[in-house]
Structure 1
Amino acid sequence: MVLILVPIFLLAGWWLKDSLTRVQPREPKRKVVVLGFDGVDPRLCREFMDKGALPNLSRLSRQGTFRELGTVNPSQSPVSWSSFAVGGDPGQHGIFDFLTRTGGDPTYLPSPESFVGQIEARFFGGIPVRLPKAINKRGGRAFWDYAAESGIRTALVLVPVTFAPPCLPNGLAISGLGVPDLCGTQATYFYLTSNPRKVGVAQMTEFGGLVTLLKRSGDSYHAQLAGPPSPLWKQEKSRKSDGLKKQKDSIKSPGLSLDEKQKIQSEIDRLQNDLSAFTAHPQRLSMPIEVVPLSEPGTARITIDQDEKVVAVGKWSEWYRVRFKVTRFISAHGICKVLLQSVTPDVRLYVSPIEIDPERPAVPICCPPNYTRQLAQKIGLFKTRGWESDTAGLKEGALDEKAFIEDTFEVMDKHAEMALEVLHEDDWGLYVAVLSETDRVSHVMWRLIDPRHPAYDPVLAAEYGDSIEKVYRKMDDLVGKFLNEIDPLTTDLYIISDHGFRSFHTGVNLNTWLSQNGPGGDASRPFMKLRLPANRQYNLQDLFSGNTDFFKASIHDPVEGTTKTEYYVNWNETRAFALGLGSIFINLRGRETWGCVARADYNAVCDEIIQGLESLVDPATGKRVIRKVYRGLEIYHGPYANIDSVAFPDLVVGFEEGYRVGWQSTLGGITDQVLVPNRDKWSGDHCGIDPSLTSGILFANRPVEASRTEIIDIAPTILDSLGVPYPTLQGRSFAREGTANP
């Protein structure tokens, strides 16, 4: 999404401040504080508690409660935290995966707006006539909405899937997971080098980094940092897309003659080619970067835009303040850091993803919208991106373990400071904060605590094998600070996580399996019919480009010397396909553009796929790969459990420990092999792993004796503690069954 600085957002804080106090504040029956930590695993908690590494959580366990917290299916962060918010499974809120789908032509494309939608800016003569806006695509009502609207002073700090931020009466909300960087992505990092052999033809890496050549001029090196797509270019792209859609709608009009249809189809082809050519060369905003090696060994003067600093090799810089000029009247402001890696023989440096400047945000990332500016003035600049850790840089070798851990731990310290600052801001009746660094470290450092993992490195394990324990210790330190602030006589404290973790040693390419297997293992009648070899390696740009090149292969004509793209999937004979991190969609007639499965055959096709996948065995171990394949209509309940919606997964795969959807499969590619060793640094996971294996944690400062503790039970429990009425929820309150609130 395109993000543009508009100072009007900050001015809006004046009238919003008044609008947020229209509900008469009242005191709760009991106050509630929820401190969430993404991805904390109960098994590791017990292990670290047993060795005395988590004294504050051990204290809570003795004096109150420590139990596993059941997660949802699938146990993915945006899904789990959305279920936490509304007190129900994904059928209650419509977030089924990190990736989602929207209707259109073709409908097989994933949407770049998985759980955050957008309204782009519009310009006339360089002047904005419509401001950019984010839209939270989570459905249902969050428990904090009920609380705030009943008069409870409510604070939300970095809670996932709260972007755009909710404006709560007498409340405060700082958005978490979902907030993009200034390029509109979760993590576009920059790797710059003076060695042309390190810059390939494709400058976009598999997972979203931009590799750029530094050109030498005398004693200095120069490059342009590519920023977000130009809003004016995006506006023109939208205009072309609207024109194409209009023609596609018109060809469906009844009563058209064959000649009229042919003319319209000719215009559709022309507009489609024009749009494809236009989209293939996006115009990006950019700004200059200059690197000047200094006489002092291992140092350089690095200037980005107009901000100049002296940086030493191996050390993170302080924050750079940068801006991209959009028009004569508007600039997009951001902040970033630099890690200088080498000045000789090659100059190499890493520039972190450019964050939205919290003091001059391009779009509101909190409500009231000027609060992040006040917060930054108190505690200093901080990352605003929802995916706050540079996991992509580490995964792709642009960062090493030392740099990643230093940065991530610094971010966690800043987030802890932020959480405490907001806690002291008011006498909150309801306070919810979520820190996510526990999840990020576990994803990329799990290989160093699992000697059986293909990416295990004993040398790195000796130095960084305690990284997960260290991030858990940081969690425990913050819990201790909250315990010192909270009166248990008046306040219920819950420490929770949305899911646990398991090793990820083998990737499973679901589309490959679908293309090689049919009913009863009959390979001659595969569920996914290929008409061409799938000869592409996909990256995140392919996945989210919005172009119609998904599931396409490049075909080179040596005679003509031309290359064209064609679908490698024969949709007319394809009965199922996979997208995301474990979702399988039936190519259902009437729902999909080229659907071929009749509704009468829907259950039979589902049965055949379930039988085949649940029989899949890893030949290297002789063990089952998949614990269970779930039917969407059986596990989801509510308004979003709708078979006619392209976002609704027909089947959800629950993998055994060690297995997860393969990397290329998540990006839309089809590889030769179904099972592929995961030699990647991203080595721990929970996405797609069966929810029975990925429970989270629940600690409380009071006994909880309910027979069931699941993440969907937190919402009604909190509302009961507050004394706030609410409609029937899918989750069950601990208070009504156990003794959380005697």
Structure 2
Amino acid sequence: MKREALTKKLLVLGVDGMDPKITRKFLSEGIMPNLQKFIEKGSARKDLSHLGALPTITPACWTTLATGAYPGTHGITCFWRQSPQSLDAVVYNMDSRNCEAEQLWNVTAAAGIKTLVWHWPGSAWPPTSDSPNLSVVDGTQPGSVNMGVAQLDWEKVIAADEEITELQYAPKVERPAGVGCMISDLDAITEEEEPATDMLEIWYGEAAMKGAEIREYIMGPENMEMVIESIPHYDLVNSPLKDAEGWAAAPADAKEFTILTSDGIVRRPALILKNAEGIYDHIAIYKNKKAEKPIVVLEVGKMVSGIVDDINKEGELKPACRSMKLLELSPDGKKLKMWISNALDTAQDKLFHPKELLKDVVEHVGPVPPVSLVGGEDAYLVENVYEPAWDAYCQWQAKALNHLINNREYQVIFTHLHNIDCAGHMFWHLAKNLERWSYTDPKVNQDFIRKFYIQTDKYLGEFLHLLDEGWTIMILADHGLLVGEEFPPQIGEYGGMNVQVMEELGYTVMKKDKNGKTLKEVDWEKTTAVQTRSNYIYINLKGRDAHGIVDPADKYELERKIMSDLYSYRYKGQRVIGLAMRNKDAVVLGTNGPQCGDIFFTVDEGFSRLHGDGLSTVEGAFDTSVSPIFLAAGTGIKENFTTARTIRQVDIAPTIATLVGVRMPAHCEGAPIYQILTEEF
């Protein structure tokens, strides 16, 4: 049945982690004026929320938004996919070929509607339709466009000082909060300490994307994601600072220092220069001392993006885009501190379909700017590097999308932005004065949350003009992000196999060395069940699992005992588990089926991390919640309208299908939000 369209142009503005509860708080403070205009021109619930799918994990929820199907149906049931060979291992999951439900963009493309899917994580890449009407950009990871495949060099902090006598380089240095950037003895660090874990390589590296098993045993608090990501880590360069010598054209009073790039093997000389008043206030970075023009000129406190320089990657020079910022420079030119971002290959088009899209965007908007991954506990870096770098990326993405809208005649566009979620994983948990982070200032981090919502409002404002041009716009999220009330026990972490609680309850047994020290190795002869990925427990079952010891006839009673023990488990005298149910019963939540565990559980409110381990209705400190935002405005949508309907995540895709006049996706389980449409249904 062909349905008459209510709109000819529709744009989905997805913002990962955007929480309607804290959004309403910031709206009342008047700091999100653009979003307020969307609300006044459109329709939403009074609380701006919709009911997110479970688990509240990025790929699972974005796939639900794309298909109108629950995770148990579409099969993307967590950030990772359970390894079919090993209960203690996971494999890469953000692959459209793992999605067992039809994506809406395939429907629109088949209907002759020119469609763009922009960095939609979980079920977009590789494209699953050969229609010439479908364009797809990335989607292999949630961070930013090309983040997983184009990175050539890591972020760096450079300290230059007259007291430094030798150029020194230290990779992936971990810097606890409050510790300065200059280190007097880098040799000791590089000899005694291992480099910080490169989470990008583990999570999004080529090995992961090719399906290699990843084993991550979460043994203690130091293994938990919110702890790992709190500690800033970056390459560190200590450079001598001296009078300029040997330059083709340097002022007599200029000073020089050296920047190391390309994992420390490429040198870039830099001049420290005076302004008209005779004060040192800017620097110029060159390829070499004979170059007539600098690569870039930096003034104190001003971030510059879109800087292209060659990076030496395994002996091959590749042009790469960076951002840089001169953080500090003494007026007498005797010391400075600066930051340079990671470097992204400007020509890496493997995740652009068609590939010409990258060339088009680079030519008319600029190369993809890298975002920052430093910050966390270090408020100085969050304020001066992390937030400004994301701001630059948001501006670039808005310009890129507007360029494609104006020049490529797309009619339906699905987009994703990850700034709020990425920041949330870095420091949201620091916005409450938890004992573990008592040395951080919760009010400072609360203000950072405000800044990221202001940043997002600015981004959304770049698309307001489309409402006057006949577009329909939806603003939505996969989930929200909460500020935790407690430092949680180790269960429900999505990054691997969680040991603590299951070991305490006697279901998971780890091997020990001759001295009784616990090893990162499962004793499968004694282990009856393990907890892996965010919300799943697997029975170590004979005939199914490689090391199975539980007789299938005993599985039902073992599940009963595990659920009973989970409900009885206490942390500081309080119950930790909210819900626990067998796979067959989890159909009521949409978390059943072969890609889900034998038991699905949620952590109770008060013990959730940021998101992913509890229900989508969970709330936290500082007026935060895990609920995702939803509102719609423009052609086909009632203006300034409030609905009392409970909107479920599975309802979004059929609503879009109704608006643009195409059939429902084949596996859709939701229904159109007909109450907000201008025409009766």
Same fold (TM over 0.5): yes
1:691 aligned partner: 616
Q: What is residue 448 of structure 2 aligned with on the other side? A: 467
Q: Counterpart of 2:423 in 1: which secondary structure? A: helix
Q: Is the 8 A contact 1:42 1:695 kept in 2?
A: yes
Deviations 1:296-334 (A, max 9, x none): 66876656899954556765454243344568xx76553
Equivalent position amino acid for 2:432 in 1:
D
Distance of 1:46 and 1:633 partners within structure 2? 38
Quick check: 1:628 aligned with 2:619? no
Equivalent in the alignment of 1:4 = none
Letter in 2 for 1:592: D
1:725 aligns with 2:663: yes
From 105, 108, 131, the equivalent of 2:88 is 108
Please report how far the alpha carbon of residue 399 of structure 1 lies from its aligned counterpart in structure 2 after TM superposition. Answer: 3.5
Q: Cα offset for 1:394?
A: 3.5
Query: After superposition, what is the alpha-carbon deviation per residue over 1:169-206, rounded to whole angstroms, capped at 9, x for unaligned?
Result: 23433224625546678995456557414446344314
Task: State the match for 2:322 in structure 1.
Answer: 336
Question: Match for 1:628: what amino acid?
Answer: L
Report SS of the residue matched to 2:667. Answer: coil
Instruction: Select the residue among 337, 342, 356 that pairs with 1:353.
Output: 342
Identity %: 20
Deviation string for 1:432-465 (max 9, x for gaps)? 2222212233444435653567536786735x63
* SS of aligned partner of 1:528: coil
What is residue 196 of structure 2 aligned with on the other side? 205
Does 2:636 align with 1:711? no
Map of 2:211 onto structure 1: none
State the match for 2:419 in structure 1: 437
Task: Determine if contact 2:542/2:548 at 8 Å carries over to the other structure.
Answer: yes
Q: Structure 2 counterpart of 1:717, which letter?
A: T
Alpha-carbon deviation of 1:570?
0.8
Q: Report the 3-state secondary structure (helix = DSSP H, G, I; strand = E; otherwise coil) of the residue aligned with 2:381.
A: coil
The answer on whether the counterparts of 1:90 and 1:636 sit within 8 Å (CA) in structure 2 is: no
1:505-520 pair list within 5 angstroms: 505-510=486-491, 511-518=498-505
Matching of residues 303-702 of structure 1 within 5 Å: 308-309=295-296, 311=298, 316-318=303-305, 319-324=307-312, 333-339=319-325, 350-357=339-346, 360-361=347-348, 363-383=349-369, 389-394=371-376, 399-447=381-429, 449-451=431-433, 454-455=436-437, 461-462=443-444, 465-487=446-468, 491-504=471-484, 505-510=486-491, 511-518=498-505, 526-532=506-512, 553=519, 568-619=521-572, 622-635=573-586, 642-643=593-594, 648-660=596-608, 685-693=610-618, 694-701=626-633, 702=637
Tell me the secondary structure at the aligned position of residue 465 of structure 1: helix
Residues 82, 90 of structure 2: 8 Å contact kept:
yes
What one-letter code is carried by the residue in structure 2 that aligns with 1:423? I
Contact in 2 for aligned 1:709/1:734 (Cα 8 Å) = no
Write out aligned runs for 1:78-227 (5 A).
Answer: 78-104=59-85, 106=86, 108-111=88-91, 113-116=92-95, 137-161=98-122, 162-164=124-126, 168-176=131-139, 178=141, 181=147, 189-190=155-156, 192-193=169-170, 195-196=185-186, 197-199=188-190, 201-206=192-197, 208=199, 211=235, 225-226=262-263
Q: CA deviation at 1:699?
A: 0.9
Q: Deviations over 1:328-384 (max 9, x none)?
A: xx7655323345667999987654333232xx11x422222111221122122223x
Amino acid across the alignment from 2:54: N
In 2, are the aligned partners of 1:165 and 1:365 still within 8 Å (CA)? Answer: no
Structure 1 residue 425: deviation in Å?
Answer: 2.6
Kept after mapping to 2: 8 A contact 1:181/1:187? no
Query: How big is each residue's C-alpha offset from its partner over 1:540-591, in whole Å with a ceiling of 9 and x where there is no partner?
Result: xxxxxxxxxxx993xxxxxxxxxxxxx6321111112223334332222233
What secondary structure is seen at the aligned counterpart in 2 of 1:355? strand
* TM-score w.r.t. length of structure 2: 0.71
CA contact (8 A) 1:572 1:596 kept: yes
- Kindly tell me: are residues 146 and 595 of structure 1, through their superposed partners in 2, closer, same or farther at Cα, counting changes over 3 Å? same
1:656–1:689 Cα contact (<8 Å) kept: yes
Distance in 2 separating the partners of 1:298 and 1:157: 40
Corresponding residue SS for 2:669: coil
Alpha-carbon displacement from aligned partner over 1:181-232 (angstroms, at most 9, x marks no partner): 4667899545655741444634431454564666879986575634xxxxxx
Cα distance, 1:289–1:572 mapped onto 2, change above 3 Å: farther
Match for residue 30 of structure 1? 7
| Residues 308, 712 of structure 1: alpha-carbon distance in 2 compared, 3 angstrom cutoff | same
Structure-1 separation of matches of 2:358 and 2:515: 46
Cross-structure match for 2:23: 45
C-alpha distance in 1 between matches for 2:351 and 2:587: 31
Question: CA–CA distance in 1 between the matches of 2:521 and 2:102?
Answer: 42
Q: Kindly tell me: are residues 407 and 576 of structure 1, through their superposed partners in 2, closer, same or farther at Cα, counting changes over 3 Å?
A: same
Matched AA of 1:484: H
C-alpha distance 169-468 of structure 1, shift in aligned 2 (>3 A): same
DSSP-derived class of the 1:440 partner: helix
DSSP 3-state at the match of 1:606 = helix
Partners of 2:18 and 2:591 in 1: CA distance: 28
Aligned-partner Cα distance in 2 for 1:443–1:391: 10
Task: Using the TM superposition, give the Cα deviation of residue 737 of structure 1 relative to its aligned residue in structure 2, in angstroms.
Answer: 7.0
Per-residue CA deviations over 1:22-55 (Å, capped at 9, x if unaligned) read xxxx995523322211111111122122233333
Letter in 2 for 1:173: V
TM-score, normalization by structure 1: 0.66
Deviates more, 1:36-45 or 1:91-100: 91-100
Please tell me the root mean square deviation across aligned C-alpha atoms, in Å: 4.1
The verdict on how the C-alpha distance between 1:316 and 1:727 changes in structure 2, with shifts beyond 3 A counting, is closer
Any residues of structure 2 matched to 1:229-240 within 5 Å, and which? none
Whichever residue aligns with residue 159 of structure 1, its letter is W
Q: Contact 1:71–1:695 (CA<8 Å) still a contact in 2?
A: yes
Residue 283 of structure 1 is matched in structure 2 by none
Decide whether the 8 Å contact of 2:69 with 2:101 is kept in 1. Answer: no
SS of the counterpart of 2:571?
A: coil
Whole-Å separation in 2 of the counterparts to 1:439 and 1:303: 36
Contact 2:433 2:442 in 1 (8 A): no
Shift in Å at residue 698 of structure 1? 1.3
Structure 1 pair 347/582, CA: closer, same or farther in 2 (3 Å)? farther
3-state SS, counterpart of residue 439 of structure 1: helix
Is the CA contact (8 Å cut-off) linking 2:509 and 2:522 kept in structure 1?
yes
2:251 is matched with which residue? Answer: none
Q: Is the 8 A contact 2:295 2:309 kept in 1?
A: no
Aligned residues: 565
What is the one-letter code of the residue matched to 1:698? F
